[in-house]
Copies of this chain bind each other. A is one copy, B any other.
């Protein structure tokens, strides 16, 4: 496997010791996320899109075993030859895999056995991190870094999937029951006027980024305005009350079809009880906070809302240019509050922001070589870009150039709406 990244990340990962410490911290975080779960919670899969937490824990470990241990340890013998079939997600390079929609049926290996698998692989990984020859370091360190970012992506999926899995239970059990501060005042919506012109976007440094963020390239932008914060629950409620889900003229044709077929009349996780909207959160069912940003909307809903408001969604290049100007801080998972808060700005963290840009290859895009080449490129069809991270994204996982992507009907991710308009 030859890696196209010639220079290894200089910034945070410039020493073995740093990478080892990073490895330990990120691996521990995955287990910490699962600490509040019952053993049954580890097992379940509410829809094909979600995975059982146990499966996530095993899959990210399989990633290290497959892309690192198998390649860098001579005569490596797999921990368990069946695990590649069970815990491969979508890498056709490595042969068959258990059907995605049936991950919830794998009651074996047990949770205990999966943790044992993690412990054993961590031992081997830490040995390798300390002992690998300097000549292999650059490629090795790149793949470790990729594995850690991969695990961080699955940490976000863990929050998303746990939320959906628990919500599928009529008891609506809370993931966490600790109290959290609630901000109930939203900031006023303002519009920033922004210049167009020939700009560059995409990643170009010698630190880590996904292949889909490269190459850096030119894009022509028209002048436009961006709103100063995300759309709030109160604003979205106006849309609903104004017949938003009943008026076909507001919707993309596929969107209208989808909401009719699935009988959607509000965002995911909204429930009306005694005439009051509630929202299922990782803290259980709560009265809807009007000032907080509306979350768990699909692209179809985001687009219809923008249409209703007489605006549009921003382009990914418009958002990237804005993100590049700002300090990388916001309400990320490091805050320990796993639900979006009222506030202003909200460009980083809070909620992923749907863009009006489909997920496409940048001009000259080349996927990584080898098995990791399946990481991003093959999904460049039918999905849309989201930007900026969310309250369940780790801060050290994100970049201004980071491209997240989902199908236009997906809404179990922590996604919200920012508005833009042409001048």
Contacts and interface: CB of A to CB of B under 8 A. Distances in A.
Contacts of A251: 378
A interface residue count range (under 10 / 10 to 19 / 20 to 34 / 35 or more):
35 or more
Contacts of A39: 39-40, 43, 110-111
A122 B108 CA distance: 31
Contacts of A356: 360-361
A250 to B, nearest CB: 10
A105 B169 contact: yes
A92 B249 contact: yes
Interface stretch (A252-260, A267-275, A327-335): A252-260
Given A85-B170, A254-B382, A108 B217 contact: no
Interface string A20-54: 00000000000000000011111110100000001
Nearest to A162: B107
Contacts of A44: 43, 104-105, 107
Interface string A361-375: 101100000000010
Contact of A364 (B92, B102, B222, B253): B222
A54 B222 CA distance: 46
A82 B169 CA distance: 11
Contacts of A218: 220
Contacts of A303: 381
B40 A90 contact: no
A108 B162 CA distance: 13
Given A98-B170, A360-B358, A363-B422, A379 B253 contact: yes
Contacts of A38: 107-108, 110
A219 interface: yes
B107 A43 contact: yes
Contacts of A190: none
Contacts of A82: 170-171
Given A39-B40, A82-B171, A408 B381 contact: yes
Nearest to A251: B378
B40 A380 contact: no
A1 interface: no
Given A222-B217, A222-B364, A252 B381 contact: yes
Nearest to A96: B170
A317 B110 CA distance: 47
Given A92-B249, A168-B105, A171-B82, A111 B40 contact: yes
A266 interface: no
Interface string A164-177: 01101111010000
A276 interface: no
Contacts of A360: 356, 358
B86 A170 contact: yes
A255 B422 CA distance: 35
Nearest to A300: B381
Contacts of A92: 248-249, 256
Contacts of A249: 92-93, 374
A368 to B, nearest CB: 13
A205 interface: no
Contact of A381 (B102, B104, B248, B254): B254
A324 interface: no
Contacts of A408: 381-382
Among A107, A219, A253, A378, residue most surrounded by chain B Cβ atoms (within 10 Å): A107
Contacts of A380: 252
Given A106-B169, A256-B378, A356-B360, 20 more contacts: A38-B107, A39-B110, A40-B42, A40-B106, A43-B44, A44-B107, A92-B249, A93-B249, A102-B168, A105-B169, A108-B173, A249-B374, A252-B378, A252-B379, A253-B379, A253-B381, A254-B382, A356-B361, A358-B360, A381-B408
16 contacts: A40-B110, A44-B107, A92-B248, A105-B165, A105-B168, A105-B169, A106-B169, A107-B173, A108-B173, A109-B171, A252-B379, A254-B379, A254-B381, A255-B381, A256-B378, A356-B361
